A = this chain, B = another copy of it.
Amino acid sequence: MIFSLLVYGAPHSHQAAESAYRFAVSALNQGHGIHRIFFYGDGVHNGSALASPPQDECDLPARWQALAEQHELDLVVCIAAAVRRGVLDANEALRYEKPAHNLRAGFELSGLGQLAEAAIQSDRLITFGA
């Protein structure tokens, strides 16, 4: 079965992101496919390259990146939600004339259309709300 996930919560602020991560691991372990994980609202902060939690806490952005590398996951961060909230890739940093970018490797910024496409193409869309 092909899943897509919609993640609405930021790491540390809300448990939704951690729940989504555990779900993704469990689905992959059972041999299911994941078409896309879409980060929306405050969920865009899952794609932060700068998040630096203490060593004894879960580093969710790093875990997403590692999971994506292992399973070739499509991690898409809503571009409109992200730029408002200060999550930029190199292109957007250039466009908005900002001195730095902070989107983590393994994530990409794209439009809300990627959420609609994911819902259409996948057997199930699971929302992790906050």
Q: Which residues of A contact B (CB under 8 A)?
A: 10-13, 41-42, 45, 48-54, 57, 61, 83-88, 92-93, 96, 98-102
Q: Which residues on B sit within 8 Å (CB–CB) of A45?
A: 85-86
Q: Please list 16 pairs of residues, one from A and one from B, whose beta carbons are closer than 8 Å in the complex, sorted by A's number.
A: A10-B42, A10-B85, A42-B42, A48-B86, A49-B86, A50-B86, A50-B88, A50-B93, A50-B98, A51-B83, A52-B83, A52-B84, A52-B92, A52-B96, A61-B86, A102-B102
Q: Which residues on B sit within 8 Å (CB–CB) of A52?
A: 83-84, 86, 88, 92, 96, 98
Copies in the complex: 2
Q: Which residues on B sit within 8 Å (CB–CB) of A83?
A: 51-53
Known A10-B42, A42-B10, A42-B42; contact A51-B85, beta-carbon cutoff 8 A: yes
**Nearest CB in chain B: distance from A31 CB, A:** 33
Closest residue to A104 on the B side, CB-wise?
B86
Cα-based distance from A102 to B82 in the complex (angstroms): 14
Cα-based distance from A88 to B53 in the complex (angstroms): 12
> Is the contact region of chain A dominated by helix, strand, or loop, or is it mixed?
loop
Contact A53 B84 (CB under 8 A): yes
